[in-house]
């Protein structure tokens, strides 16, 4: 029984942290027009969805994977 409660608690914490992160997103931040890693143009959809973004999705995934592997 504790496993179900622990799982539910972890899910709730993840949802709360995601909601807080979305709330903290600075909607007035200016997004880059080109990816800081590869130099490709960032789509208007991405720039509107994530104000202040500096990387394309592909490069961001690589950076996040590297950070995860390093334990950051």
pLDDT tens figures, 2-14: 688 888 889 999 9
Contacts with 43 (C-beta within 8 Å, 6 or more apart), sequence order: none
pLDDT tens figures, 23-54: 676 667 788 999 999 999 999 999 888 888 99
Asked whether 11 and 18 are in contact (CB, 8 A), the reply is no
pLDDT of residue 3: 85
pLDDT of residue 5: 85
Asked whether 7 and 15 are in contact (CB, 8 A), the reply is no
């Amino acid at each position: 029984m504790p496993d179900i409660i622990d799982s539910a608690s972890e899910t709730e914490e993840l949802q709360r942290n995601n909601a807080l992160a979305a709330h903290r997103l600075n909607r007035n931040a200016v997004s880059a027009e080109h990816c800081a890693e590869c130099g490709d143009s960032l789509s208007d959809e991405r720039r509107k969805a994530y104000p202040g973004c500096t990387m394309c999705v592909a490069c961001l995934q690589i950076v996040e994977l590297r950070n995860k592997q390093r334990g950051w």
